[in-house]
Chain A
């Protein structure tokens, strides 16, 4: 099975930087995804890491350490529209490659 842990809620100020952590325990690790979900909408893909290190994509970056079972999503220059839930998903091999989601982190950005 899997155990994926991320904080339930975080708050930050517009223009600031926020780091959302995700820890996991799994066998057969095959990649970690971050998704963004605005209230009442479907999740949308943000980033993917399968090797250790940092992946940067505009204001968003994602980091992975496989040995530590740890990832974070870094959001820079926060904007009000970044208020959303951020979902960490770990893909592992259980007969097929299956993504399993953490409970999500609700980020509130205030002025």
Chain B
């Protein structure tokens, strides 16, 4: 089975801190995604990557950046955390761009910014 691992289940940070959320997948997937999930708003795409060193903005990229130096690892960076970035962050991966390729999700990181 595909495993998508997020480094932290819960994280508490202070306003203005730089925050790194790490995601690793073990099935050689090309595509990786970062979503945030908020009550009443569903999952919203922050950034995605379809290859090493490639990144594309999703629907809500402001305040975030990403890094994909290795195929298996996709990092989400909050350059200066703010309280409105308190959320559940979900990483996902999929095999390739072909039709029908489902997403495999990590367990999520609940980030609280105080």
- Measured CB to CB, the residues of A under 8 A from B are 8, 30-31, 33, 35, 41-45, 48, 50, 87, 89, 91, 95-104
Contacts and interface: CB of A to CB of B under 8 A. Distances in A.
Interface in B83-114: 90, 97, 99-100, 102-108
Nearest to A31: B99
B41 A45 contact: no
Given A96-B48, A98-B58, A100-B45, A50 B40 contact: no
Contact of B108 (A30, A33, A42, A87): A42
Is chain A's interface secondary structure helix, strand, loop, or mixed overall? strand
A77 B90 CA distance: 31
A99 B103 contact: yes
A44 B99 contact: no
B34 interface: no
A98 B45 CA distance: 9
14 contacts: A30-B99, A33-B103, A42-B105, A42-B106, A43-B90, A45-B102, A45-B103, A45-B104, A50-B100, A91-B99, A96-B56, A97-B99, A98-B45, A99-B103
A44 B42 contact: no
B59 A100 contact: yes
A24 B89 CA distance: 24
B11 interface: no
Contacts of A101: 35, 42-44
